[in-house]
Amino acid sequence: MSVRPTGDSMLPLPVSISSATGDPLPTRLHFPKRERGSREHFMGGLEDEEPPLKRIKSSPQESRSVLKNLPLIEPIGSSRDTMAKYVCLGDETVGSKGIIKKVEFVRIITKALYSLGYEKSGALLEEESGISLNSSTVNLFRQEVLEGKWDESVATLGKIAQLEDKIVKSASFLILEQKFFELLQKEQVLDALKTLRLEIAPLCINKDRVHELAGCIVSPARYEGLVRHNVLHDNPRLRLLEELQKLLPSSVMVPERRLEHLLEQALNVQRESCVFHNSLDSALSLYHDHQCGRDQIPTKTLQVYSLVLLFYPFLSLNSLFRWAL
């Protein structure tokens, strides 16, 4: 392939794309340099007689190899980023329909592994896939909640991106409420009152609950009831984290047992769409799609009952015999 110059003045342009046929290409292409004020336009103008240069295309194999070698952009580790924003090439999907996002799919599997207690497997999946379950900010927030660092956790909550003010206030209310209960449990009544007046009340939400919390200080009966439910829980901080998880968007924190919920939904849909369904739930399996055959519909008579027995089941056989006579 060669390029024929059409003028005296040449404008060099470097080229680094190889030909699909394997023929050597010139390292520079020359185009005519137009004079200022001319009515001619670059690449085929009003007075161009030469046809536009054909674009040099690479082979499909070369294009795929270039895209394959480009690295995925990892999620930015700043405090204002969430795990929902993974910048990947072409928004990779899995499945034949192309509707399942790879990032969401991997994160849900990772969450399921951690929930089942497979800590090493979950960590290995995060490392190998390059897709973290949570952002660094969310991980810090979870750690602070579990360690009881209430003020720090409220501050970190405000650093999580894409959270509405209403969600931030509701989550802060739950965190400070747990702080209030633990202070009462430690018999630090003045600190608990200070938390209620200076931290919880200024949020201006859930006033009925604020009154109940105030009653814990005034009335021992209310204190015993609410504290027994909130503090004497097996793991109140873990329960708090689950409540916070319900408030935060699922893209920020993957909901608990999300994979199990999706699988149960799939099985329910298969059961409801089964035309000849006549089997127990134990027959449902994840290994194959559920479908009952016609042979599972009863077609043979196994027992014949008398009409008298059906309508008068309380009668004994002797009574029936006398009645028949």
pLDDT (tens digit per residue) in 177-192: 999 988 988 889 899 9
Strands 93-94 and 28-32: unpaired
- The 3-state secondary structure of 154-218 reads HHHHCCCCCCCHHHHHHHHHHHHHHHHHHHHHCCCHHHHHHHHHHHHHHHCCCHHHHHHHHHHHH
Decide: 39 and 45 in contact? Cβ < 8 Å: yes
Determine the 3-state secondary structure of 93 from DSSP.
Answer: strand
Give the pLDDT confidence score for residue 95 in this predicted structure: 87
Q: Which residues pair with 29 in a beta bridge?
A: 13
Nearest to 154 by CA among 139, 136, 173: 173
Decide: 153 and 145 in contact? Cβ < 8 Å: yes
pLDDT (tens digit per residue) in 108-143: 999 999 999 999 999 999 999 999 999 999 999 999
- CA gap 3, 10 in Å, rounded: 12
> Which residues does the chain have with pLDDT short of 50?
1-21, 25-58, 60, 63-90, 232
pTM for the complete prediction? 0.60
